[in-house]
Amino acid sequence: MLLSGTVVADADTVIPDGAVVVADDEIVAVGDRSTCLEEYPDHEHHSCDVLAPGTVGGHVHSVQSLGRGIADDTELLEWLSDYVLPMEASLSTAGMRVAAELGYLELIESGTTTCIDHLSVAHADEAFEAARELGIRGRLGKVLMDKESPPGLLEDTDEALAESERLIQEYHGAADGRIRYAVTPRFAVSCTEACLRGSRELADAYEGVTIHTHASENRGEIAAVEEETGQRNIHWLDEVGLTGEDVVLAHCVWTDEDEREVLAETGTNVTYCPSSNMKLASGVAPVLDYLDRGINVALGNDGPPCNNTLDPFTEMRQASLLQKVDHLDSQALPADTVFEMATVNGAQAAGFERVGKLREGWKADIIGLETDITRATPLHDVLSHLTFAAHGDDVQFTMVDGEVLMRDGEVLVADADEIRARAREFAAELDVAP
């Protein structure tokens, strides 16, 4: 397939009248439209106003999609214990499937082609199967919770790790490597030392398996960890093996100087979730400091109950504006940096190679947006538009691994109306009351 339009190949490269040529699951050419049409005359041709790398959701909770709007105006620990965890515990096998489908549908429709997905304790197979069928690229993991957890989510440590290993053997590397596994302890508050150390041992036992957890999102969380372990959160996670280049820590809002040194020295990935951090009043992550230290920072929406959208473009805008106002510096976190966080930085955190840029030999994960709309008029700077003005609704074309998942705004890999209808039915039966 030959795709033409204004090509945003990466944060530094824009081709105004460009084209991207795809064969199988890879990009084989990126260049001027006329040249590509001449060199590849037999390829199917599809045009979009703007072509860009698919965005990467560096931390999402697809299976919380049925809880959108259930816990507004609450702080993190109340939000979690009184609303979200009971909701997750009440999900049946079928409910988990439609929740995951709804989450992946929203990601595909709004231009996210890769996600690092923090699932739930039970029925994780349903999310893996949904990801495989809908075609999204994902790093998924069953949640581990073996202490201070509500009924329906509390597990025996050995059984939880054994179930994780079964899922690794079943799904890691599935769909020709499009789906990979992350061992996923929820966070230090809900996991014993044995569970955290076991997570590291399990990840080390399988090539390419990574670790994904929450860290230092909220001051109450940090106080709880420090009271139990005598250490601040990042130091405790480092002691039990949950730092390193194969680790993604979501949030990292409240870290001190020593903890930031640990993150930098170990090459640990951090995911910045600005909308969630604002909505739960968690605070403002020290993203500029992280970037200055060479820490890889990705961008994530978190879950629909604390955002309440999985729109990556809204998240890019929030990411930049929050840092500008926090630092009282209009130059803080400019468009090109945010775009990299939402694309290639996220791919690095997710552990996917050759993802996040439109480059010859890279994976064909491509989105197309319309700009013949008032909000995009005039279009002086396309990168500025993508970062500060675009919405997920502008996405009309989504391709992952060379497969077209959405074209002309119509999802091709699933019945979107049917998913939404089933989601409304299951949502009506959930335990969402405090």
As a residue count, the chain comes to 434
Sketch out the chain's domains with CATH numbers. 2-53+360-411 (2.30.40.10), 55-350 (3.20.20.140)
pLDDT digits 0-9 by tens, 89-115? 989 999 999 999 999 999 999 999 999
How far apart CA 71 and CA 434 sit, in angstroms, is 9
Is-above-0.75 flag for pTM? yes
Q: How far apart are CA 55 and CA 110, in angstroms?
A: 9
Measured at the CA of 100, the angle between CA 103 and CA 426, to 5 degrees, comes to: 100
344-to-9, 124, 332 alpha-carbon distances in Å: 11, 27, 19
DSSP 128-160: HHHHHHHT-EEEEE-EE--SS--TTT---HHHH
Please tell me the predicted confidence (pLDDT) of residue 78.
86
Query: Residue 227 is which amino acid?
Result: E
Q: Which pLDDT score, from 0 to 100, does residue 360 have?
A: 98
Please report, for residues 1, 4, 15, 21, the alpha-carbon distance to residue 43 in angstroms, rounded to integers and kept in the order given.
Answer: 5, 12, 20, 8
pLDDT tens digits for 178-208? 999 999 999 999 999 999 999 999 999 999 9
Q: pLDDT tens-digit profile of 53-66? A: 999 999 999 999 99
Indicate the average pLDDT of the chain: 96
- Region of residue 146 (left: phi > 0; alpha: psi -120 to 50; beta: else): alpha
The pLDDT of 318-323, averaged and rounded, is 98
How do residues 290-315 score in pLDDT, each as one tens digit? 999 999 999 999 999 999 999 999 99
When pLDDT is averaged across residues 268-277 and rounded to a whole number, the result is: 98
Q: What is the pLDDT of residue 151?
A: 83
List pLDDT tens digits, range 208-261.
Answer: 999 999 999 999 999 999 999 999 999 999 999 999 999 999 999 999 999 999
| CA dist list (Å): 286 to 167, 295, 428 | 35, 11, 39
